[in-house]
Each structure stands twice: as structure tokens, then as C-alpha cells.
Amino acid sequence: MEKYDPRINAYIEKSADFAKPVLNHIRNLVHQASPEILETVKWGFPHFDSKGTLCSMASFKEHCAFGFWKSALLTDPLKILQKEVSNAMGQFGRIKSIADLPEDAVLISYIREAIVLNEKGIKVSKSTAQTKAVIETPDYFTEVLNHNPIAKAHFENFSNSHRKEYIEWFEEAKTDETRNKRIATAIEWITEGKGKNWKYERTR
């Protein structure tokens, strides 16, 4: 991994015009929080690491998202983490401009707390709810869902057939790049409570 990953430059460049300043702003704040933070791309969107994953950001057609990997462990003294948001991944809802983000100093303080959690090796306990699923979820997708609690809740409440449709879609991908793109799309749909074939279901 690199401090500035060229793949993230490309990701931002390909994003919608409204998203570019938002993504660049988040990226700058992350590096202001610590010069040790490294960048990478996982599951098709930018992640930031420091002795483990810290946070990630993503852009969609009409909004951006930003979230902490261990959001459940952050103290959240200002109560700004929307841990029960139902319409977006991450913990800050649908971000459409820099004004939708917390103040710079506040966000930096939260990023630094996330760094400390990683430095201390503190981990989020695994949900026992996963044992209820009849369809086995691949580890790579379980890890993504653990970072997106709303999507995870929706996915666990899906019928076995709905879960199977997504998992088979991932497994049928010929390359990692294709699979990662499908996962990124799936997270957006699942966060909104949509099954894999929601476009067809809506017309029935």
C-alpha cells in the first residue's frame, strides 16, 4: 500500500462532479489525522489503513458515503455517528456536499480515535446472528457487511433465496475486479433493502 494510491486518484476522477470535492476533502482530512495512514482500494472503493482498516469512502450517482470500520467501538462523544441509517452505507448518511460532513477538527478527532483502536488491537466481536443463515456467506462479503451495519441487517433479514442470488452473482464473476464491482453495487442496493433482482420485482 502507498500513502497516496493512484487508484484513488482515478476513482475520484471518475466520480460525479459533485462528489469530487467531497472525496478530496475526506482524503485530505484522513492524512491530516496521521501521516502514517496508507491508502488502498478494497471491494471497488477507497479505504484508509493504519495497522488495519480505519475507514472508507465511496461515491454513487447522487451521494457519497464515509464510514469507520470499527464505528461500534468509537466513543462518539458528539453523537454524530448515525449507526442506524437506513438509506446509506457508512455512518454519515447521504453526503452530497462538504457541508454534510462534521467540522474538520471533529472528523479528525474521530479518525485518530480509530487509529488508537487499531494500535491497541481492539476488535469488533462477531455477530452471533450470522449463525441463523442457511446460505453460507463468503468471508470476503461477510467482512464488507461488518463494515456496513445497515446493509448487514438487511442482508441477514433477507430470505435464503435473496441471499443466494447475491452470493451466486459474486461467485460467478470471472475476475476479482468484476467481483469487487458487483460487491460495491450490491452494498448500495442492500443498504436500501433491495434484492439483487429488484428492478424486475418492481414491475411484477
Whether 136 maps to a domain, the answer reads: yes
Is it the case that residue 151 has pLDDT exceeding 80? yes
Cβ contacts of 60 within 8 Å, gap of 6 or more:
188
Determine the pLDDT at residue 83. Answer: 58
Residue 76 is classified by DSSP as -
Q: What pLDDT score was predicted for residue 182?
A: 94
Do 133 and 114 lie in one domain? The reply is: no
Same-domain pairing of 112 and 192: no
114 and 138 part of one domain: no
Residues 85 and 150 in one domain: no
Residues 91 and 173 in one domain: no
- pLDDT band for 4, please (50, 70, 90 cuts): very high
Question: Based on the structure, what is the number of domains in the chain?
Answer: 2
Give yes or no: residues 97 and 74 share one domain.
yes
Statement to judge: residues 14 and 115 lie in one domain: yes
CA distances from 170 to 10, 165, 167 (A): 24, 9, 5
Tell whether 161 is covered by a domain: yes
Average pLDDT over the chain, rounded to an integer: 86
Average pLDDT value for residue range 137-153: 88
Residue 140 domain flag: yes
Cα–chain center distance at 94: 12
Tell whether 115 and 139 lie within a shared domain: no
Residue 38 has pLDDT above 80, yes or no: yes
Q: Which of 35, 30, 52, 72 is nearest to 116 (CA)?
A: 52
Residue 194 CB: number of other CB atoms within 10 A?
Answer: 17
Domain that holds residue 106: 6-119
Query: Does one domain contain both 56 and 136?
Result: no
Instruction: Judge if 10 and 88 occupy the same domain.
Output: yes
Question: What is the pLDDT at residue 86?
Answer: 41
Beta bridge partners of 95: 64
Does residue 33 sit within a domain?
Answer: yes
Using pLDDT thresholds of 50, 70 and 90, give the confidence band for residue 133.
Answer: very low
Region 125-141: mean pLDDT is 59
Indicate whether 1 belongs to any domain.
no
Domain assignment present for 50: yes
The domain spanning residue 26 has which CATH number? Answer: 3.90.1150.200
Pick the more confident residue, 175 or 97: 97
Encode pLDDT of 44-66 as tens digits. Answer: 889 999 999 999 999 888 889 99
pLDDT in tens, 62-117: 889 999 999 889 999 999 987 544 445 678 988 999 999 999 999 999 999 999 99
- Structural domain contains residue 46: yes
* Same domain flag for 115 and 132: no
Residue 53, in any domain of the structure: yes
pLDDT at 135 > cutoff 90 = no
End-of-domain residue from the set 119, 154, 172: 119
SS3 33: helix
According to the model, what pLDDT value does residue 85 have? 47
**Residue 131 pLDDT exceeds 70:** no
Instruction: Put the strands of the sheet holding 45-49 in their side by side order.
Output: 38-42, 45-49, 53-59, 64-68
pLDDT score, position 203: 45
